[in-house]
Structure 1
Amino acid sequence: MGPHVAPRVVVVASLATVRAAGTGGGRGKGGGGGGGGRGKATGGGTKGRGNRGGSAGGADGGTATKKKASGGSDVAKKKQSKQDKRDEQQPPQPPPQQQQTAVRDPPVNKKILEGKFDALVFDDSSKGTDVFAMDAPHVPANATTLEDRLFFERKGHACIRNVLTQDEARSMAVALIRETRTRTLLAYKHRVSVLCPPGAVDLNAIKTEEEAMAAIARYSDEEVGFLQTFNIHRDNYVSGESSESSESSNDSPAATPSNDGVEECAGYIMSRRLARIAAELLGADESEGDRVRLYQSCVFVKPPGFGETNWHSDANMVPLDTNRFVTLWLPLRPLQEDDAALVFASGSHRDFALPYWHTLEGMEDLESRGYDIESYEPLDLGDLTAHAGWCLHWSPPQPEDAPPRHALSVCYFLDGARRLTGTEGHLRQVPHEEDEWSYGDWLVDVKAGEVARHPALPVVYP
């Protein structure tokens, strides 16, 4: 971990395409209403649920590169392709899978608004791992500098270099990519469930990636901006089901992840070294008994030619009543300036959360808010970016001639946050559906208004 990193300014698509959140919204062709999802919308018009286009906010951190928002909808102007660096950009290649068996698809559009238990009794001690030694010579006493923390507070995002050594980062990348590949078809089905109207597609009937893309092309106007694989640190990765009940089925050709693979991934994702960075950015105070919980992990994949990820904020997808939420984003191969890294709207985390609770008035024209648009690439293995829960961020398309972009996203929140209550008059009355495959297996056990404590939301720091 080195000195504070400054961002760079970049030129991106208009912030007018940011989706201002709402309470519903169509997912497919002709979808309308006031949705709060992740699709495109210009001003307050039609809102789909597509590629994370659900909120506007921003922050910058580290030494970011500024990108001025243009008035059009053109995608970020990329610098010329660095073809001579493509070979070294290729992600670490895990060995091929030896065996694949089928799994059952996660439930879709489940009713999850009522808790099923009065109380949970479980071991709530810290589950943070030490797979990355906390006392390694290159790890300072504080994972972040004072300048990092002040910058993050002001801008809503930051970049921290050399969090992991090259060897540590490479080993993690191999394990995560290997495990993600066992769930590729499941990730495509998730995109179908998000982008297509409810009930339009039988997920069990989709047997190949090509069939999934064909369904999206038929029922949705949205581009596929990414593939998202949830929570590969959990053995019960099928949302809402335990590993014991997830019996094999011929309905889906996706591969069942190995217990060894999940355990290895969990060691990396639940690392106390990463969690300590989150704790410091959240302002957690160990002397006051503050603890940090893991909310979810995702591996995001952008294959060559996949479209942009629309402007959105993570907190809008989270069924928690809290502002103490942070996402760490780690590339799983080196990223150059023409790769699809994250781009941030600096300062948006400070003024964009309130409309999600009360009114969207004044939020239709986000360009007029004057956010600096910044990013941090190039990023090396072992670097990470961090952004606040309400910070608006975006990602450009992945170039056709580039390798796939893999990145690990790990989200944390300060212990004590409560589940959303669904208070009348609030726009966030019910959890957003897009990430239901992630939170569906704990939301049924935590009643509205209760403190979010659950085995699926483990304490990872201290």
Structure 2
Amino acid sequence: MQEPTTKQQEELQGRYPLSRHQIEAYRRDGHICLPQLASPQEVSFYRKAIREAVEKMNTEKRAMKDRDTYGKAFLQIFNLWCTSETLKRFVLSKRFGAVAAQLMGVERVRVYHDQALFKEAGGGHTPWHQDQFYWPLDTTHTITLWMPLVDLSKNMGIMQFASGSHQQGYILSKEISDASETFFDQYVKDHAMPVSGRDTMNAGDATFHAGWTLHNAPANNTNTMREVMTIIYYADKTTILQPDNAFREADLKAWLGGRKPGEMAESEMNPLV
């Protein structure tokens, strides 16, 4: 695998300036879209390494018709940063981490984990859900970067957000499923929450959303793979919660390096960026 040039490494670490208006909008709405967080040249370079890792690590071999709703939503590959120095540079980018910290208003952030979310051509919708249902982290300072690696058209499954929903906190103890879609769809309507999202996104644009922000994504009704890379961050000095569901128990074992409830979430699996 080709390594980045010095110039490419330096560019990915460069600063992305945020305005006060952008920071205020994120904290009000629980989400924001930032244009060209990564340049076309950077995305083109790192996309090759991400695609290679996804192709190597993907274990989903079932036909679309044989999968449940979650299985149809996307191919999900975790912790690519551990697979190569190239992907480590991408995921641990100081530029990305600094934006996450500024939006949340914290001094430093750690990586919880990364994941490639590739929605196949003809892939199904991603139901309404809250990410932090899965995370045993005792903080509201959590945030996810969601970056397309290819230009996205309207019918490829771009994320949608229920603005202001993060202010409700933990709404329902339910994983991503048909049941979460039904409940949260009615919840959003009952609470008159504006649903917003972009019609198109360019490769290198990025959305950020809070851990409690309700979000979903339509199906990919095109013949093109929706290639997206995500990185989850949380505030440094966060402690670990006692898991209250099986998914948080699994996450505790998978992503927090053997740490236990009550301890700091600062294992070698959660690098400071």
TM-score (norm 1): 0.52
Q: Is 1:132–1:271's contact at 8 Å kept on the other side of the alignment?
A: no
* Larger relative helix fraction: 2
Paired residue type of 2:206? L
**Partner Cα separation in structure 1 for residue 117 and residue 24 of structure 2:** 28
Change (3 A) 1:222 1:268: closer
Cα drift, residue 353 of structure 1 = 2.2
Cα drift, residue 444 of structure 1 = 6.2
Residue 265 of structure 1: aligned partner: 87
Q: Is 1:302–1:398's contact at 8 Å kept on the other side of the alignment?
A: yes
The counterpart of 1:406, out of the listed 202, 206, 227, is 227
1:45-444 to structure 2, matched below 5 A, reads 131-133=9-11, 139=15, 143-185=17-59, 188=60, 209-210=61-62, 216-217=66-67, 224-235=72-83, 262-284=84-106, 290-353=107-170, 365-366=186-187, 367-399=189-221, 401-422=222-243, 429-432=244-247, 436=250, 440-443=253-256
The unaligned stretches of length 5 or more in structure 2 are 3-7, 174-182
**Partner Cα separation in structure 2 for residue 310 and residue 412 of structure 1:** 22
**Partner Cα separation in structure 2 for residue 439 and residue 170 of structure 1:** 34
**Partner Cα separation in structure 1 for residue 89 and residue 72 of structure 2:** 30
Paired residue type of 1:414? A
Change (3 A) 1:402 1:132: farther
Paired residue type of 2:260? K
TM-score (norm 2): 0.85
CA RMSD of aligned residues (A): 2.5
Query: Percent identity over the alignment?
Result: 27
**Partner Cα separation in structure 1 for residue 228 and residue 69 of structure 2:** 26
**Partner Cα separation in structure 2 for residue 398 and residue 162 of structure 1:** 23
Cα drift, residue 314 of structure 1 = 1.0
Runs of 4+ in 1 over 6 A off after TM superposition: none
Q: Is 1:131–1:271's contact at 8 Å kept on the other side of the alignment?
A: no
Cα drift, residue 402 of structure 1 = 2.6
* Larger relative strand fraction: 2
Residue 180 of structure 2: aligned partner: none
Paired residue type of 2:9? V
**Partner Cα separation in structure 2 for residue 312 and residue 299 of structure 1:** 18
Match of 2:116, SS?
A: strand
Change (3 A) 1:178 1:417: same
**Partner Cα separation in structure 2 for residue 228 and residue 135 of structure 1:** 26
The unaligned stretches of length 5 or more in structure 1 are 1-93, 96-129, 189-208, 236-261, 285-289, 357-362, 423-428
Larger radius of gyration: 1
Cα drift, residue 445 of structure 1 = 1.8
**Partner Cα separation in structure 2 for residue 444 and residue 178 of structure 1:** 26
Paired residue type of 1:390? W
Change (3 A) 1:374 1:213: closer
